[in-house]
Amino acid sequence: MSDTKEYIIDQAYKLFLDKSYEAVSISDISKAIGFTKGALYHHFINKEELFKAVIDKYLNVISLRDIKEDITLAEFIEFNISYVTRIVNTVCIDDLPFVPVNYLSLMIDALRHYPGYAEKEERFFTREIDKLDVILKRAVKNGEIREDIDTYLIAQNFFSITVGIAADMFRQNSPEQAIAAFKDQMYQLYKLLKR
């Protein structure tokens, strides 16, 4: 049943991405997955619940929860680059043309049609910046980076670069170019912070 739900989520993602939340009907989703509406409703009670599952899977931003306690800033940067690359590769589906405005539209649909999404993301961003601040403070204490910095502001910068990859995807019009720009930005900021 889990594989079936994942299949439905993946197919619905393609539809929501290609059209919009408003333009996609349950009938469209049923037709795309080859299920009756009844079979679809067996897995998701309505279009809203399915949309939330799509957003939760495809618009998740990096979380630092998997990072070990004693990670260095250099290790964090490598982890972050690897994780963001995986996210971009998940979000960008090979059998769909890359259309940057579709991703922006999906984010806007999430803000409009996913109750509590904006607040959830705001809390998430705050927690992640706080965790990154701890990593930076440890990097200062261990002599990895300069001590004359405001670690919280630098944590915000690192996080802004990470979420800014979405804007780079629009500007570069290529996921690969956006990842390359992201790597360059992360390494350049680290180079500026080094002792």
- Span 126-146, average pLDDT: 94
Write the pLDDT tens digit of every residue in 159-175: 999 888 877 777 766 78
> Superfamily for 2-56?
Homeodomain-like (1.10.10.60)
The answer to whether the predicted template modeling score (pTM) of the entire model surpasses 0.85 is no
Fold entry, domain 61-193? Tetracycline Repressor; domain 2 (1.10.357)
The whole-number average pLDDT for the span 128-143 is 94
For a pLDDT cut of 70, what percent of the chain falls above it?
A: 91
pLDDT, the chain, mean = 88
User: Which of 4-18, 32-46, 90-104 shows the lowest mean pLDDT across its residues?
Assistant: 90-104
Residues 6+ apart with CB under 8 A from 2: none
Q: Read off the pLDDT of residues 35-62 as tens digits, 9 standing for 90 and up.
A: 999 999 999 999 999 999 999 888 865 5
Would you state the pLDDT for residue 9?
94
Domain ranges within the chain, ordered by starting residue = 2-56, 61-193
pLDDT of 63 over the 70 cut: no
How confident is the model at residue 13, as a pLDDT? 92
